[in-house]
Structure formats: structure tokens, C-alpha cells
């Protein structure tokens, strides 16, 4: 089952690289992350289970945040295709900052909420099988490739005609998006309370 999970991670990541749609990219990225969680759970190691439970919570936060940003873009510009976007940071700098933070969380950079969970999952997989950990680790590189490419394509580079005609989309920001970004930062800087809660749950499962 771990082998199938790792295959699913790589397959979803490769499809994400080829898509021209922001929502589809986030959806395929989510499939890849879920595949990593499944692989970690099937190891039945303490690190793997802790990381999977922690990541299940944090990934949900990150995906909601990414979808909120994409919805703002789609409502204001009428598109979510990379080929029709570009230079949005010049029009909406606040939205660009929020999106960058969420993308960094999606890549599980240190000081974001996803880092600890993903690190623990890889420790669990490594503890189970080194080669599985190596193949799963490729997903980190692929995740960085398509996530950072999405950020660069949408918010930086030359301004596209659709973006040029748009008003400042910062006015459409939701208060919930601010809360989500704060959770991403707080969860990365101080993950201990949630980690303690997860440890107790995992201990109860492994004892059984």
C-alpha cells in the first residue's frame, strides 16, 4: 500500500505540472499530499502517524486559503488560467503576499504550519523503508516546482491584458483569509500544542 501511495504522489505531482488551471493544480497538489499522508499512516510508525494527523489539519487550512485567493482572482478577472494571468502583484500587493505565504506552506517551508508534519511523515517513511522515502522525497521537489511556478506565473512577470484592466483586487480580500494566513504562521512558529495533542492520539492507537 505504501508503494501505491508513493506512486500516487508522483503521478498527481506530474499532472499538476502540466495543468493550466489554478484550481486544478491545487486539487492535484492536494491529492499528492494525501498520498504522502497515506504512505505515512501505512508505516504504522509513531513519527509517520503523528505527521499524518498533524498534516491532515494543516493541509486543510492551506488548501482553503489557496482556494479563497483563487476565488478572489476568478471573481475579479473572470479567469483562473495561468496563460491569461501575470503581473498581479503590481495591482494587488497584499493578495500577492498572502498567496506567497500559502504557497510556501504548501511546499512545507520551515516556519510554516506544514513543515513539522511533513518532516515527521518523512521520518516515519524513512524509518520504514529508505527507498520509499527517497521516491516520496521527489514529491518535495515537484511540489516546489509547480507551486513556485504558479506563484511566478500569476503574480509576477509582465502584466497580462486581463490584469491590466482589473481594479485592485485587494478590496475583495476576505477576513477569513487573514485568519488562515495567521494560522499558517502561528502553526509554523509554535506547533507544540497541536503536536502534543497528536502525540496522545498516536500513542493510544499504537498501544492498541
Q: Report the alpha-carbon distance of residue 86 to residue 57 in Å, rounded.
A: 31
**Cell, residue 75:** 471573481
Percent of the residues in the chain that have a pLDDT greater than 90, as a whole number: 38
pLDDT digits (tens, 9 = 90+) for 88-114: 888 888 889 999 999 999 999 999 999
Q: What is the DSSP string of 39-92?
A: HHHHTT-HHHHHHHHHHHHHHHHHHHHHHHHHHHHHHHHS--BGGG---HHHH-
Q: What number is the average pLDDT over the span 118-134? A: 89
Q: Which residues contact 100 (CB under 8 A, 6 or more apart)?
A: 151, 155
Amino acid at each position: 500500500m505504501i508503494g501505491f501511495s508513493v506512486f500516487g504522489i508522483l503521478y498527481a505531482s506530474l499532472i499538476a505540472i502540466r495543468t493550466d488551471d489554478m484550481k486544478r493544480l491545487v486539487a492535484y497538489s492536494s491529492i499528492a499530499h494525501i498520498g504522502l499522508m497515506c504512505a505515512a499512516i501505512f508505516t504504522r510508525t509513531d513519527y509517520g502517524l503523528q505527521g499524518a494527523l498533524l498534516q491532515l489539519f494543516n493541509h486543510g487550512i492551506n488548501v482553503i486559503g489557496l482556494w479563497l485567493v483563487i476565488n478572489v482572482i476568478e471573481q475579479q478577472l473572470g479567469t483562473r488560467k495561468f496563460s491569461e494571468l501575470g503581473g498581479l502583484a503590481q495591482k494587488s500587493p497584499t493578495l500577492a503576499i498572502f498567496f506567497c505565504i500559502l504557497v510556501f506552506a504548501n511546499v512545507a517551508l520551515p516556519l510554516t504550519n506544514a513543515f513539522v508534519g511533513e518532516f515527521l511523515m518523512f521520518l516515519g517513511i524513512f524509518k520504514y523503508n529508505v527507498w520509499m522515502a527517497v521516491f516520496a522525497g521527489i514529491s518535495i521537489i515537484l511540489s516546489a516546482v509547480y507551486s513556485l511556478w504558479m506563484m511566478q506565473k500569476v503574480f509576477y512577470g509582465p502584466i497580462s491584458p486581463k490584469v491590466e484592466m482589473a481594479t485592485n483586487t485587494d478590496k475583495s480580500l476576505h477576513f477569513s483569509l487573514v485568519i488562515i494566513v495567521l494560522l499558517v504562521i502561528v502553526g509554523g512558529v509554535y506547533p507544540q500544542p497541536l503536536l502534543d495533542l497528536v502525540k496522545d492520539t498516536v500513542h493510544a492507537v499504537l498501544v492498541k
